Structure 1
Amino acid sequence: MSERFLVTGGNRLEGEVAVGGAKNSVLKLMAAALLAEGTTTITNCPDILDVPLMADVLRGLGCEVELDGSIAQITTPAEPKYHADFGAVRQFRASVCVLGPLVARCRRAVVALPGGDAIGSRPLDMHQSGLRLLGAHTEIEHGCVVARADVLEGATIRLDFPSVGATENILMAAVLADGETVIDNAAREPEIVDLCNMLVQMGAQIRGAGTSTLTIEGVKKLVPITHRVIGDRIVAATWGIAAAMTTGDVRVTGVNPKHLSLVLDKLRAAGARVTYDPNGFRIVQPDRPRAVNFSTLPFPGFPTDLQPLAIGLASIADGTSMITENVFEARFRFVEEMIRLGADARTDGHHAVIRGIPQLSSAPVWSSDIRAGAGLVLAGLVADGTTEVHDVFHIDRGYPRFVEILTDLGGDIVRVGATSEPAQP
């Protein structure tokens, strides 16, 4: 039986928390190490489950990987293997990001269709169509994405949606293609900029990082380097929202606050006092939060990863909030668990209407993905009694030292082994 968290509500969060490297960046940077023969060193790696999983994927491709605290050293051979059909690939979504580098280095790739969070359909159509425009032949065979290319040639590629994963895979294939590639309607997330910065350090020629148009001039070879992962803006925002929900006072360091401008504006609208410094921000929530509307969009919009946390905040806010999900259709599964905790919520298509109540009520709940799990824990912090949060392995995939940090901030949370677990309704 999986472990669970016991969360007892009623405590105000106070203190300071340092955020490590971004989950949504480090895994792609590790995959980018496939592009250069030799040893690439990545620092500020977060202590999360997905990092050793990605290390296993890379080892299966012939790399030597050493993990030592926040440092990952990846030694890529002259001829990596191209077949990534093994168990670790199916455990997390980001494993698909080896597709682009393998096509670039090996001119072929076989990558098992990835697993990961249950947040809705995330097809690989744009990944495949972009690689096809670069000259690769791709198809789905026996549960794997199979790609082959005699040569890769630059092309103009317009994405139907600014998909982060598609942008990353096409970008990493294009850096070793012949000629110029233009990716139009590219994702603009800070994690994309981080990947571009690393690739440029390695010798790639990329213009437009952080804009909707990336221009890549292919080069013959990249070299291994040392690169530091940017701070995790989603983890940072989680602690900021936790402060707002518990009428707390929390300073978050290790992250660029400009990466969270809209999120912090929303917390200010909810009544929080928000102050910035070059290495983070501070949230002080003096009273019960006010209701605020949220609408998820690609960066620089409100992150879909924070939608469950926004629902948690709305559930105990003063007033009625509307949450609109524009990215992943299944993320509102989280609302069903919030209703178990007494939230006054209903969904209609991609909208959720939340009428805030002063306090939630404890109950057993189940996390369906990383952010839903964190959202349920935060909801438990503002519920009466003790809330049991099950399937917490999801949280371990995205949050380093989750229990320890919450405890240091004054939260009452305990991890226990589940010897007998009630069946999920």
Structure 2
Amino acid sequence: MKKIIINGNKPLNGEVTISGAKNSTVALIPASILADSMVTLEGIPDIQDVRSLIEILEEFNVAVTFDAEAGIMNIDPSNMISIPMPTGKIKNLRASYYFMGAILSKYGEGVIGLPGGCNLGPRPIDQHIKGFEALGATVRNEMGAIYLTSPEDGLKGDRIYLDVVSIGATINTILASVRAKGRTIIENAAKEPEIIDVCTLLNNMGAKIRGAGTDVIRIDGVHSLHGCRHTVIPDRIEAGTYLAAAAAMGEEVLVKNVIVEHLEGFVAKMDEMGVNMEIGEDSILIRKSDDLKMVHIKALPYPGFATDLQQPITPLMLKAAGDGTIIDTVYPKRVNHIAELRRMGAGIKVESDTIFMQGPNAMSGAEVKASDLRAGACLVIAGLMAKGTTTITGVENILRGYDGIVDKLTALGADISMVEEEN
């Protein structure tokens, strides 16, 4: 069992470079199997979700090489075979569901275990299934697995209205439709930068997709897709996490490899709090920020404040003066970090899915558990702020999405280490 140990209240200084986007990568890798030759992805983060996806690709007899230090992955699906996907590996990460759309598109049929990932409350895949069925597929749920079958004459494009704005359903429907006959129109599509990233890859592979980044995406089906080279966009959630840490404990921290436009909702709230920022073309400099003001946050689909950043910004808010609230309209049950922050002395509570807090808070080190990926990031920042020693368990959740988090924070001056103990 891994643990992260933080001796807190140490100032941060220096530079940190943001890795490729986790939420893009976990869709780009399944999308790559639609090619008939080698796909090279650059800027791939070295995270556990990537390792899990590599294992799944190898089950499909896809040739994969990953240079973790250089962040380069080569995916050659030319000898791929279609087999039922093993449930055990699927349970390791939710994003494995992107293989549904890719396998259905490539083979016309497939068997895929239901996805796992962080426990953030109900996250149904009914909109994914709605997209597949609109294209003509038959979808059955038997014994915890999804059975996908296309008609004998193949999938056909159609007009699909998603009842809720869903990144996963938007991407999965795109993957299923890129080789369908005719035109597919997805209405009420999600607009996240990661969707644009996936569509850029697919278009470079020969797909015909227009409208990515808007709420209407049009896909004209093509007969085949070829290999290409593609660079992953920077991770806006990792960037926001380090910006929050720098605002909380930094004297002067430069966060590099940032697309500022992807962080507008987050940066606006930091500005409202009074964080001392200097925004560059592809970087943000954070200087020591005192006398912070509390804010109210509502997490919304893009371009609103990202749900994945409401947990990482919470410790920074606890440093600010006044009363604040967080309402997450995307995942209202995303509150598992609150009880852990209370262990550290935070004045924070949850009532009817609304987080209430009062500040400023002086937190103390404690033993806490990372229940999910972004809750883990929240607790790391809280540990950096707290006096004394914080021990975080559930570290596997953090490693799912943060590339080299201990090394990056150590380079900034944090007293942080990861230890491994027997259960």
- Post-superposition Cα deviations, 1:392-411, rounded to whole Å, max 9, x if no partner, equal 11111111111111111111
Distance 1:346 1:286 in 2: 25
Match of 1:93 in 2: 94
Shift in CA distance, 96/104, structure 1 to aligned 2, threshold 3 Å: same
Q: Which moved more, 1:85-94 or 1:30-39?
A: 85-94
- Scaled by the length of structure 1, what TM-score is found? 0.96
Match of 1:168 in 2: 171
Displacement of 1:292 after TM fit?
Answer: 1.2
1:279 maps onto 2:289 in alignment: no
Displacement of 1:286 after TM fit?
Answer: 2.6
Displacement of 1:357 after TM fit?
Answer: 2.9
Match of 2:196 in 1: 193
Distance 1:36 1:383 in 2: 49
Amino acid at match of 1:193: I
Contact 2:60 2:80 in 1 (8 A): no
Contact 2:61 2:79 in 1 (8 A): no
Displacement of 1:269 after TM fit?
Answer: 1.1
Displacement of 1:79 after TM fit?
Answer: 5.4
Distance 1:285 1:260 in 2: 20
Contact 1:343 1:357 in 2 (8 A): no
Amino acid at match of 2:288: Q
Displacement of 1:60 after TM fit?
Answer: 1.1
Distance 1:79 1:149 in 2: 19
Distance 2:14 2:398 in 1: 22
Give SS of 2:245's match.
helix
Q: Which runs of 5 or more structure 1 residues have no equivalent in the other structure? A: 421-425
Distance 1:184 1:80 in 2: 33
Displacement of 1:419 after TM fit?
Answer: 4.3
Displacement of 1:330 after TM fit?
Answer: 2.4
Distance 1:209 1:99 in 2: 20
Contact 1:82 1:102 in 2 (8 A): no
Q: Which moved more, 1:15-24 or 1:341-350?
A: 341-350
Contact 1:247 1:287 in 2 (8 A): no
Q: Which moved more, 1:77-86 or 1:367-376?
A: 77-86
Match of 1:423 in 2: none
Q: 2:356 aligns with which of 353, 357, 366?
A: 353
Match of 1:72 in 2: 73
Match of 2:28 in 1: 29
Contact 2:333 2:353 in 1 (8 A): no
Amino acid at match of 2:221: G
Give SS of 1:91's match.
coil
Give SS of 1:384's match.
coil
CA RMSD of aligned residues (A): 1.3
Amino acid at match of 2:29: M
Distance 2:232 2:65 in 1: 17
Distance 1:301 1:379 in 2: 24
Q: Which moved more, 1:219-228 or 1:349-358?
A: 349-358
Displacement of 1:139 after TM fit?
Answer: 1.8
Give SS of 1:250's match.
strand
1:403 maps onto 2:406 in alignment: yes
Match of 1:328 in 2: 331
Distance 1:94 1:66 in 2: 20
Match of 1:184 in 2: 187
Q: 1:228 aligns with which of 218, 226, 231?
A: 231
Displacement of 1:86 after TM fit?
Answer: 4.1
Match of 2:109 in 1: 108
1:55 maps onto 2:54 in alignment: yes
Distance 2:243 2:109 in 1: 44
Structure 1 vs Structure 2: percent identity of aligned residues? 37
Displacement of 1:42 after TM fit?
Answer: 0.6
Match of 1:123 in 2: 124
Give SS of 1:331's match.
coil
Contact 1:365 1:390 in 2 (8 A): yes
Displacement of 1:347 after TM fit?
Answer: 1.1
Give SS of 2:333's match.
helix
Q: Trace 1:31-46 onto structure 2 (pairs within 5 A).
A: 31-46=30-45
1:147 maps onto 2:148 in alignment: yes
Contact 1:272 1:286 in 2 (8 A): yes
Q: Which runs of 5 or more structure 2 residues have no equivalent in the other structure? A: none
Displacement of 1:247 after TM fit?
Answer: 4.7
Distance 1:167 1:92 in 2: 18
Contact 1:204 1:218 in 2 (8 A): yes
Amino acid at match of 2:45: P
- Post-superposition Cα deviations, 1:6-42, rounded to whole Å, max 9, x if no partner, equal 1111112111111111100012111011111111111
Displacement of 1:307 after TM fit?
Answer: 1.2
Distance 2:108 2:354 in 1: 43
1:260 maps onto 2:259 in alignment: no
Residues matched between the structures, number: 419
